[in-house]
Structure 1
Amino acid sequence: MESMRRLADACAAGDLGAVEPLLAADVVAVCDGGGLVPAAADPVCGSGDVALLLIGVLGRPGTDLSVESVNGLPGLVLRRTDGTAVAVVAARCGAAPLSTLWIVLNPAKLNGWHRR
């Protein structure tokens, strides 16, 4: 839980230097935009590229990033100020360094995450 909290804080602040050490050197991030929203079509590999991806996705102005249980493990949920979920990040494990991340951006899969 602590590593996800640190990741959330670093992404929200846009702090690349704080995000990278939380990721394994060979980390892989897989995005699911469902063809409905922009998302990386191929897996993103390596701590530098994944850190940039995370900051780009999770560091959006006018949003709230929270640490929540995702598939039974600590994860991240990004919501607009109206409570609409725009991204959910799940990790293979909740401890740093994180080695595998799944980033769901597909609006059709985020309905259960809205808070209205």
Structure 2
Amino acid sequence: MRPVHDDVVRRLAAACRAGDVVVIEAALDPDAVAVCDGGGRVPAPDRAVRGAARVARLLRALLPGTDLTVESANGRAALVARRAGVAVAVIAVGCHEDRATALWVVLNPAKLRGWHRG
């Protein structure tokens, strides 16, 4: 994993755990973009969510009541959200300098089976 990328992901995770949209927004690039994959099985935006404020609100809406961890996904630090051990989201993060610029949010239950815990 890459130290700067890892730091950005850890800071974003801490912001999401705090649940404060202003804190989450501060961890994002002003032009951040989030793309969600609900697979037609769970509610998810059907278009990219653009701008730090909108992405921050999306994250706050998706993550309450979850256990949020930083884990490796495709060889890079990513966010994994679980409820009662069941993965509800895996979020890959792209970054530039010290902020998250792009988030790929997998919500499709069929793609999350391998992320469940006990």
**What's the TM-score, normalizing by structure 1?**
0.90
1:69 aligned to 2:72? yes
* Shift of residue 100, structure 1, vs aligned partner: 0.9
Q: Choose 7-16 or 71-80, whichever is displaced more.
A: 7-16
What SS does the aligned partner of 2:71 have? strand
What SS does the aligned partner of 1:110 have? helix
* Shift of residue 71, structure 1, vs aligned partner: 1.4
Q: Retained in 2: the 8 A contact 1:73–1:93? A: no
* Shift of residue 74, structure 1, vs aligned partner: 0.9
What SS does the aligned partner of 2:33 have? strand
Percent sequence identity is 55
* Shift of residue 51, structure 1, vs aligned partner: 0.6
1:9 aligned to 2:11? no
1:36 aligned to 2:41? yes
Matches within 5 A, 1:1-116: 1-58=6-63, 60-61=64-65, 63-81=66-84, 83-93=85-95, 96-116=98-118
CA displacement, residues 51-109 of structure 1 (integer Å, 9 cap, x when unaligned): 10011112x12x2100011111111000112x110000001248631111100000000
CA distance in 1 between counterparts of 2:94 and 2:14 reads 20
CA distance in 2 between counterparts of 1:105 and 1:40 reads 11
Q: Which runs of 5+ in 1 are unaligned?
A: none
What SS does the aligned partner of 2:45 have? coil
Aligned residues between the structures:
113
Q: Which runs of 5+ in 2 are unaligned?
A: 1-5
Superposed CA RMSD: 1.4
**What's the TM-score, normalizing by structure 2?**
0.89
Alignment correspondent of 2:3? none
